[in-house]
Structures are given as C-alpha cells and as structure tokens.
Amino acid sequence: MAGNQGEPVRTRLNVIEAIRAALIPLGYPVERTSHNTTLYPDADTFFVVWLYSNVSAFYASGRPLCEITRGQVDLWCKDGTTFDELAHQAKCALKAAGMTVAVGLEQKEKDWYHLAIDVEVQTDL
C-alpha cells in the first residue's frame, strides 16, 4: 500500500511541472506555492500554480484508466491592459498543452488584477 500512496504525489508534481512548462514561454515568473502578492514584491506580473484536489482514478475491470488532477493558476498583474492580453494567452497556452481550462474568479484587489484559472489535467495510465 505504501507504493500506491507515492504514485499520486509523483503525478501531482508532474502536473504542476506541465502547467508551469505551458506558462513559462509567456515570459513571466511561474511559481508553485500558495497564492499571494507578496511572492514577488518587485514584479508587476506573475503566475502561481497550485493543485487543490486529490488525483482521481477511473477504473475499468479493476485497472486504472486515467487520473484527473485539478488545480488553479493565479495570474497577478498590476497593468490592466497586460492583464487582459496575458489572461487570454495563458488560457490558450494551457489548452494547447492538452489541459481543460475554465475561467474562475476575476477581480481587482488593491492595486493588483487577479484571475483564477481552473485547470484540469487528465493523465492516461
């Protein structure tokens, strides 16, 4: 059983890295941590990736078919024009990487624009 417990952890880390890899070409910092604007006090734009659900496996005939991992990408940006453009680019980059994307909460917090992008990644086994 201990071996089974380690498998989702590896998968979750791989998913985080896949999300980061899709966003890094956009040219802004992409970190894996809890979301807050103190992460980059000198940056005016950055992404934060975090996973919020356990990995789910779907079974057929007793064998797993795939795992689905759900997470969120937070886009933080101080410039509204850059924010709108980058939000669109981020959604396209994630979709191009084969991820299911849904736009979550978009809001202005003090002098930051913030967009939460819900991401779902399916890994075939």
Mean pLDDT of 76-93: 92
Residue 36, domain extent: 2-124
pLDDT, position 88: 94
Q: By C-alpha distance, which of 43, 96, 106 is closest to 74?
A: 106
When divided into structural domains, the chain yields a total of 1
pLDDT, position 43: 79
CATH value at residue 29: 3.30.2000.30
pLDDT digits (tens, 9 = 90+) for 17-70: 889 999 999 999 888 765 454 556 677 888 888 877 766 676 777 777 777 888
pLDDT digits (tens, 9 = 90+) for 95-118: 999 999 998 778 887 888 999 999
Interaxial angle between packed helices 2-23 and 80-96, expressed in degrees from 0 to 180 and rounded to the nearest 10? 130
Classify strands 30-32 and 45-51 as parallel, antiparallel or unpaired.
Answer: parallel
- The residue that leads in pLDDT, 44 or 7, is 44
